Amino acid sequence: MQEITEKISLLRKEKNAVILVHNYQLPEVQDIADFTGDSLELARLSQKLDCKVILFCGVHFMAETAKILNPGKIILIPDLHAGCPMADMITDQQLRREKEKHPGAAVVTYINSTAEVKALSDICCTSANGIKVVNSLGNEEIIFTPDKYLGSYVERQTKTKKFYLWSGYCPTHMVFSRADIEKLKRVHRTAEVLVHPECRIEVQEIADRICSTSQMISYAKDSKTSEFIICTEVGMLYPLQKENPDKKFIAGSPNAICPNMKLNSLEKILWALEDMKHEIHVDETIRKKALKAIEKMVAI
């Protein structure tokens, strides 16, 4: 393993590459990152980097977002099969039809989406800023895509607007149940429950805090509590523990594993840098339209 990490370090210098890593990635991948973070942080950061290549260790829509924001940089992903099933739950044709049904509505699209769907949207959001994004809009009606659970959370927090929720969801976050969390709470009585907004509503309802992956890290740091039940992908336990070595983190479900996130390995990262693969491309017309929706979000 040491040999691979040394080779990666040499190559990243040689190719003027920066390695961005999402919080759900394998521990050994997080350990070789130049930067780790949630979707919003990594998107923002990609624009500030002075480099030729960004190797994005996450899923496809994250690397694609980096390409939309940085057309002049080479964006690589270690495994092209690392997709996000939720992002594929709405197509551009379906969104066009939905827009025709609600002509006065603003389209708010979760960053977990394809470039084509972003291009048809008024603004993007992430799990960290959905409420702020919706509150920034003058429209009374909102088409929210593709995640119905994040959409429902934002709807409950921004009460006065009418929401049309697309019915997408994250299969990984579906495994959490209220009954399981209540059982864990009976054992870990002082634990706070941190829930990602992709979880089902019954789980959101018993959360002490609903937040993005990186917001979980800062919340745990600031909290006086020393035990937390974590309702998001299990990879999250690694950065939480690393940043808060004196606190205890318990998985809300050991089965919450995103198989796509786990496709990126150190070997594939090395091959990606050696062969400059797999490069992400986005059609220029689509990119420009998608950029507007992302830039509007980043500006908030």
Per CB under 6 A, residues contacting ligand SF4 are 59, 84-86, 112, 170, 172-173, 198, 233, 258, 260-261
Distances (CA, A) of 237 to 172, 240, 257: 15, 5, 12
C-beta of 42: minimal distance to ligand SF4 in Å? 13
The residue ranges of DSSP E strands in the chain, in sequence order, are: 17-22, 35-37, 53-57, 74-76, 106-110, 123-125, 141-145, 162-165, 192-195, 209-210, 227-231, 248-251
105 or 210, CB closer to ligand SF4?
A: 210
User: Shortest distance, CB of residue 198 to ligand 13P, whole angstroms?
Assistant: 5
Nearest distance in Å: CB 232, ligand SF4? 8
Closer residue to ligand 13P in complex, CB, 145/212: 212
Closest contact distance (angstroms) between CB of 34 and ligand SF4 is 21
Residue 145 in contact with ligand 13P, rule: CB under 6 A: no
List 170, 251, 256, 270, residue binding ligand 13P (CB under 6 A): 170
The amino acid that residue 136 corresponds to is S
CA distance 280 to 117: 17
Between vectors from CA 142 to CA 137 and to CA 143, what angle results, nearest 5°? 135
Determine the length of the chain: 300
Interaction of residue 25 with ligand 13P, rule CB under 6 A? no
Q: How far is it, in rounded angstroms, from Cα 31 to Cα 119?
A: 34
Scanning residues 76 to 105, which ones bind ligand 13P (CB under 6 A)?
none
Binding mask 29-58 for ligand 13P (x = CB under 6 A): ---------xx-------------------
Residues 6+ apart with CB under 8 A from 259: none
For residue 205, the minimal CB distance to ligand SF4 (Å) is: 20
Q: Considering CB distances under 5 to 8 angstroms, the limit depending on partner class, which of ligand 13P, ligand SF4, none binds residue 260? A: ligand SF4
